[in-house]
Chains A and B, each alone.
Chain A
């Protein structure tokens, strides 16, 4: 098997937070030992709710933040120091698509000028060829030349996101991290942008890390999926198999909440307990307060991500103790 394009190994990231003006200092573990590979040309989906650490993971994978421990390797080489010249030139190989396209664009520059900026920064080509490339890029994301002459606030949300994508592709990167790229868009536009990303990936051979809390969107675009909860990966595997037969109780709840044809509403699993708070991490398995199958071991020991089948890993003690109880016996909504 060829080496993966991106290899993430046990990355950890904490932030120090002071609770209130006179409170104690708390250590907030946003990402707590995450590992995965992304193979060339594939899309890995990263799913989780807010507070799961998926955005922080995305930033570390792209090299925008340095992990406190663990490593990220791109093409088997470690990431250069953030802000250094090699780091800056490496940006041409990897880019991020943001959740808020309006925030990612400079209000005072025209779209065309912004799409062109990576070419200026990395000194690619000359004036004439840059202009040609800008048109090429606009065309490839479905924007007209005229729209390049506009300012970000004059375009719609979907068009802005296309502009961001065009800008990200200017230097022909190998790797894209998409952090909730369609969450801020209307549902009808979401499909367009997702399809655009899928087409571009096929055409350009892109490798992607696709971060989202929306399962429908993730399963459309990803070949493999990792599910995160409170900074850890709880389940990882092939997208279709994972969504068809989720093993981890959290994944089951997520999948049951996401509408899909053929599944009855009555099977919906509702989680009890508080939503995940990284500043108040439960002891043992982070999910155990909300898990209806929790037993003694869950309260004391954190489960490791274990490969239970080829290309399928789960982090749950239940899998050591036998199979997870069948879906039919779950408590109904």
Chain B
């Protein structure tokens, strides 16, 4: 059991290391960082001083190690726009994003999972088809289109809700709904196929044949087993609590991390971009790890270990 977790943790560390490497490689590949950060009009002495200060004349592997060290120490650079540390900028935006993504997650879970289960239990019926049609609509419509349509209907035409900004709780409604619907659709579809797969298993039919009430079969056998693959996708959604609202925040001019990232990319404010990237990586990795641990508890097959196959 310990080995199982050790392997997972090692993998998580490796992923983070890969993200850091990715950032480093992209930063280097895109040109001389000194020129990028200082700007092409900066005088040569400034460039030279910058290069010296950042060790840009050192061999590349040394720069890599320095970079790694800096990240580990939390030195993630300063924003080009106002010189404040990137971490601070990002950190102060996190609550705003969470205000959208957490309720949205609850919405996704609250609508998506029951819809999927319902559709699976009544497979082939009108309910099933309706849910599936809604689900398909939910994820073929991109979030920005959905957001804009909602704005068009509720803000422009009906005037019930505001269209942008963060001034009151009312401003959060449309973004949350936009985020929630897309995710609910994905979850509904996924839950439905997980349930269908479980319901088709022999042990479910056996339980039913033994005379166990259908309801009990569903609750005690089908749901727990269908939960296992569903946990992965929920984990992914939790992992995107910070990253998932990039587009929606832009649609609604909501000042969260996503909006910060978009603006930073447009302005090539590399320190901020890098900071958000690492933050997202950390969140994803942490939630994947949590999912793995949860799996270890939920799936008895993993607890006892499986037999090795033939060579």
In their complex, do chains A and B touch, with some C-beta pair under 8 Å?
A: yes
Instruction: Tell me if A22 and B3 are in contact (CB < 8 A).
Output: yes
Instruction: Tell me if B3 and A28 are in contact (CB < 8 A).
Output: no
Most buried by A among B3, B306, B308, B311: B308
Residues of B within 8 A of A17 (CB): 308, 311
Identify which of residues 26-66 in chain A touch chain B, using a CB-to-CB cut-off of 8 Å. Answer: 28
Instruction: Tell me if B311 and A19 are in contact (CB < 8 A).
Output: no
Question: Any chain B CB within 8 A of the CB of A77?
Answer: no
Residues of B within 8 A of A23 (CB): 305, 308
Identify which of residues 1-46 in chain B touch chain A, using a CB-to-CB cut-off of 8 Å. Answer: 3-4
Q: Find A19's partner among B3, B4, B308 (CB 8 Å cutoff).
A: B308
Question: Any chain A CB within 8 A of the CB of B125?
Answer: no
Instruction: Tell me if A21 and B311 are in contact (CB < 8 A).
Output: no
Give CA–CA (A20, B307) in the complex, Å: 4
Give CA–CA (A20, B305) in the complex, Å: 6
Question: Any chain B CB within 8 A of the CB of A15?
Answer: yes
Instruction: Tell me if B308 and A18 are in contact (CB < 8 A).
Output: yes
Residues of A within 8 A of B308 (CB): 17-21, 23
Give CA–CA (A276, B305) in the complex, Å: 25
Residues of B within 8 A of A28 (CB): 311
Chain B nearest CB, measured from A242 CB (Å)? 31
Residues of B within 8 A of A19 (CB): 307-308
Residue of A nearest to B311 (CB): A15
Chain B nearest CB, measured from A24 CB (Å)? 11
Interface string of B278-310 (1 = CB under 8 A from A): 000000000000000000000000000111100
Give CA–CA (A21, B309) in the complex, Å: 10
Residues of A within 8 A of B307 (CB): 19-20
Residues of B within 8 A of A22 (CB): 3, 305
Chain A nearest CB, measured from B260 CB (Å)? 44
Residue of A nearest to B4 (CB): A21
Identify which of residues 194-217 in chain A touch chain B, using a CB-to-CB cut-off of 8 Å. Answer: none
Residues of B within 8 A of A21 (CB): 3-4, 305-306, 308
Residue of A nearest to B1 (CB): A22
Give CA–CA (A28, B305) in the complex, Å: 20
Chain B nearest CB, measured from A21 CB (Å)? 3
Residues of A within 8 A of B4 (CB): 21
Residues of A within 8 A of B3 (CB): 21-22
Residue of A nearest to B305 (CB): A21
Interface string of A105-146 (1 = CB under 8 A from B): 000000000000000000000000000000000000000000
Chain B nearest CB, measured from A110 CB (Å)? 33
Other than the given A20-B305, A21-B306, A22-B3, 7 more pairs (CB < 8 A) read A17-B311, A18-B308, A20-B308, A21-B308, A23-B305, A23-B308, A28-B311
A and B contact pairs by CB, cutoff 8 A, 21 listed = A15-B311, A16-B311, A17-B308, A17-B311, A18-B308, A19-B307, A19-B308, A20-B305, A20-B306, A20-B307, A20-B308, A21-B3, A21-B4, A21-B305, A21-B306, A21-B308, A22-B3, A22-B305, A23-B305, A23-B308, A28-B311
